[in-house]
Chain A
Amino acid sequence: MAEHKGINLTAHEDGTVLDPGVWGGKVQAMHDTVTFLSTASGNAAYLGWIPKNARILPNSFIKYGAMGEINGGSSVSASFKVGTLGDDDKFGMVSDAKNAGTFQFTAVDNNKIGESGPLVVTIANPGSIDNVAVEAWIFYVQTG
């Protein structure tokens, strides 16, 4: 049995002034939505605008409509990645988007995002359904 302290609690107790992005930062929200006219592989949606040095929070999520599946001998469900312009699966991937659903970001690491830009949703496996709405709810903190 032992007692341990987190890196930021340790730094705080040492007198370090912490970045508000990790220590009491104000949470901001961004919302955007788009309709994929076609769910062909490689189609991408640019949503919102994440500011430079934002830290994306792990309660961010995507709502999406049913994308269907392709039957080429065996059925393969539509899938999509969620990320940024430079890292298309930075926040995770939905491997089965045949039916409508909600995807909470799974791959959040609290690192700053770097340069500003949109959230990018990219179709990986194509779907059989057109006119599919995708909605992003992004929560983030911004640092100096």
Chain B
Amino acid sequence: MTIYNGINYDKYMAGQVLDQGLWGGKVQVAYDKFAYTANSGSGDVVKLCKLPKNARVLPISVIKTSAATTLSVGIEGATDKFVSSGSVNGITTFAKADGTQLGVEGPITVTITSTNTAPTIEVWVFYVQAG
């Protein structure tokens, strides 16, 4: 039998003070919505919310669409950081979110690669903020 320690458990046991974004941080949520009044177009970018500097996006965050729409979710400079390009119909979680700090503040970007009739895009972004 072998016992393995997590990287943060290991640091905690060694007496290190851990970043609250990793160790008991307060969870916050931001919500935003964009409703097309015409067809979406391939290459469209929908900017939603504005996350604070050093936020860590949690993988319980979700995007919701009113109809099947091919899209990816990320940030400026990394357009598929949270959700790889694919069809989203209803609720999909941010499967690729890994809790790394975002750096500068900025919006969530939804990059659309399909033409659809007036879709509505919503996001609930869960995050913790570090010091």
Identify the A interface with B (CB < 8 A).
1-9, 12, 21-27, 55, 57-59, 104, 106, 108, 110, 141
Is the Cβ of A22 less than 8 Å from the Cβ of B30? Answer: yes
Beta-carbon contact of A2 and B34 below 8 Å = no
Query: In the bound complex, what is the Cα–Cα distance between A23 and B108 (angstroms)?
Result: 13
| Complex Cα spacing A58 to B90, Å | 11
B46 and A6 contact, CB distance less than 8 A:
yes
Which chain A residue has the least Cβ–Cβ distance from B38?
Answer: A2
**Chain A residue at minimum C-beta to C-beta distance from B42:** A1
B residues engaging A (CB < 8 A)? 26-34, 36, 41-50, 52, 60, 62, 64, 90-91, 93, 107, 121-124, 126
Q: What A residues does B64 contact at CB under 8 A?
A: 58, 108
Of the listed residues B52, B60, B64, B124, the one surrounded by the most CB atoms of chain A closer than 10 A to its CB is B124
Q: Which residue of B lies closest to A55 (CB)?
A: B31
Q: What separation, in Å, do the CA atoms of A27 and B127 have in the docked complex?
A: 10
What is the chain A residue whose CB lies nearest that of B27? A27
24 A-B pairs, CB-CB below 8 angstroms? A1-B41, A1-B44, A3-B44, A4-B34, A4-B45, A4-B47, A5-B46, A5-B47, A5-B48, A5-B107, A6-B47, A6-B107, A8-B32, A9-B32, A9-B50, A25-B30, A26-B26, A55-B31, A57-B124, A59-B62, A59-B126, A106-B90, A110-B122, A141-B29
Assembly CA distance A63 to B93 (angstroms) = 19
A25 and B29 contacting across the interface, CB-CB below 8 Å:
yes
Contact A7 B60, beta carbon cutoff 8 Å: no
B-side contacts of A5, CB under 8 Å: 34, 46-48, 107
- Residues from chain B with Cβ under 8 Å of A7 in the complex: 32-34
B62 touches A58 (CB 8 A): yes
Residue numbers in A under 8 Å from B48 (CB-CB): 5-6, 8-9
